[in-house]
Chain A
């Protein structure tokens, strides 16, 4: 099956710093990638849809200046949490869409802890 790699899997940072999370489709081109946030024992909350070569589409209530998304190539999307605060601590998951019906693949997730 298709592989989506997410890095880093765990990151701890100080409050006020920025953190970048990468999402790579390793064996297919992904014109669309999605970024989710997941709180413990809850479902996935879609943050934004990332389209290659264009601006990301953010869901209502998600601060686009806080969560910067860049999809510079067909295999890479990045999520940068700027000026991180403890309330940004969460599990972040990306998924990538491969051409074809219903073809979505997920990264392993990234656990962000802001001290």
Chain B
């Protein structure tokens, strides 16, 4: 069975600085997807970034980038130039990559990030 571990329940960072959120996972699959989702106080789940396991290049979305280490089964999220609006819960998630309709996400427990002015 797949598991996702986020070892940092809470983190804080000063505005404009950089913060890295860690995520490790366990799977025997070779084809899968990894995600970082942001859940602000509004509770709307927002996709931050997605990584396909077969791609060696780390995904990047503006100020958000990942460090994907497939062999180590590590998928950390780096937020550069942190902004107050980045304050939220961040969830790491895993999805099997096989074709078919069952697209379950396996979730980490989340990291609560506070960006301080």
A11 lies within 8 A of chain B by Cβ:
no
Contact with B along A23-38 (1 / 0, CB 8 A): 0000000011010001
A32 touches B112 (CB 8 A): no
Q: Report the nearest A residue to B100, measured CB to CB.
A: A32
A49 touches B104 (CB 8 A): yes
CA gap between A32 and B95 in the complex, in Å: 14
Min CB distance B4 to A, Å, is 9
Which one of B43, B103, B104 has the highest number of Cβ atoms from chain A below 10 Å of its Cβ? B103
Given contacts A43-B110, A101-B33, whether A49 and B50 have CB atoms under 8 Å apart is: no
**12 residue pairs A–B, Cβ–Cβ below 8 Å:** A31-B101, A34-B103, A38-B43, A42-B109, A43-B108, A49-B102, A93-B43, A101-B33, A101-B52, A102-B35, A109-B44, A111-B43
